Amino acid sequence: MSRHMRIKQDNIAKVTFRIPDTMIEGIVDSLEYGYSTSASDFIRKAIRILLKKYEGDKEPSKYFTKA
């Protein structure tokens, strides 16, 4: 299962990220151990993790789709 996260910035682009639940749980767990964050920091962190995880993949479009 995965959740879909939509990010809209300055009405320029809308992108949907398919983020596995386990990845979200990992980020949430790290936040529960005393790390404070804003929603935008949470999103940035999730995107960084995704980009690292799929770096070098020949078909990144299977993870990132335009909405």
Residue-level pLDDT at 11:
55
Residue numbers of the domain that contains 28: 2-66
Mean pLDDT, the chain, integer: 63
Q: How confident is the model at residue 66 (pLDDT cuts 50, 70, 90)?
A: low
Cα-Cα end-to-end distance for the chain: 19
Q: At what angle do helices 21-32 and 39-53 cross, to 10 degrees?
A: 130
pLDDT at 21 over 60: yes
Total count of domains within the chain: 1
pTM value is 0.33
Q: How confident is the model at residue 8 (pLDDT cuts 50, 70, 90)?
A: low
Q: CA 22, 27, 33, 39: dihedral to nearest 10 degrees? A: -140
What mean pLDDT comes out for the span 19-33?
68
